[in-house]
Amino acid sequence: MRPLTKLLEAALFSAARPVTFEELLALDQETGEEEVRVALTELKDRYDVGDHGVELVELAGERAVFGGATGLVRSSALLRLRFGSRAPVGILALGSRRDEMFHPGQGTELLCFLGRVLELCVRAWLDLPD
């Protein structure tokens, strides 16, 4: 992995909230937009392999997730929800006004359990096959 990709990975996983493209671009003044996009693609490809709870996604903006409460959210946890092979992917977005409510060093077992329970409930509610 290239140094820029490692830098972006560290910035994304150490942030208490979603990081904007502009913030990533500002990490290295000598790097242009295209180089950052290439490094993000490399990072995304790395995490798209296998079935794990980490997924890098580009959001249209934090407002798309938290709506009018965007300005109140200081830390967040986003969980991908899979309801079945023929159903669209969902997201569970938890936001907190406290800076350190959700952080990279935090265990994720309970959040993953909550996500799995929610997946099963929605699948049963919509009567979707496994």
Q: What 3 state SS string does 32-93 have?
A: CHHHHHHHHHHHHHHHCCCCCCCCCCCCCCHHHHHHHHHHHCCEEEEEEECCCCCCCCEEEE
Cα–chain center distance at 30: 26
Percent of the chain with pLDDT over 90: 5
pLDDT digits (tens, 9 = 90+) for 29-81: 888 999 998 998 888 777 666 555 555 555 555 556 777 787 788 888 888 88
Nearest of 27, 16, 20 to residue 105 by alpha carbon: 16
Is residue 68 located within the same domain as residue 42?
no
> Inter-axis angle of helices 33-47 and 3-14, to 10 degrees?
70
The residue segments making up the domain with residue 102 are 62-125
Give pLDDT, residue 93: 86
Strand partners, 75: 96
In a domain, 56, yes or no: no
In a domain, 52, yes or no: no
C-alpha dihedral sign at 116, 112, 80, 76: positive
In a domain, 57, yes or no: no
User: Is the pTM higher than 0.75?
Assistant: no
In a domain, 54, yes or no: no
CB 36 within 8 A of CB 4: yes
Confidence of residue 130 (pLDDT cuts 50, 70, 90): low
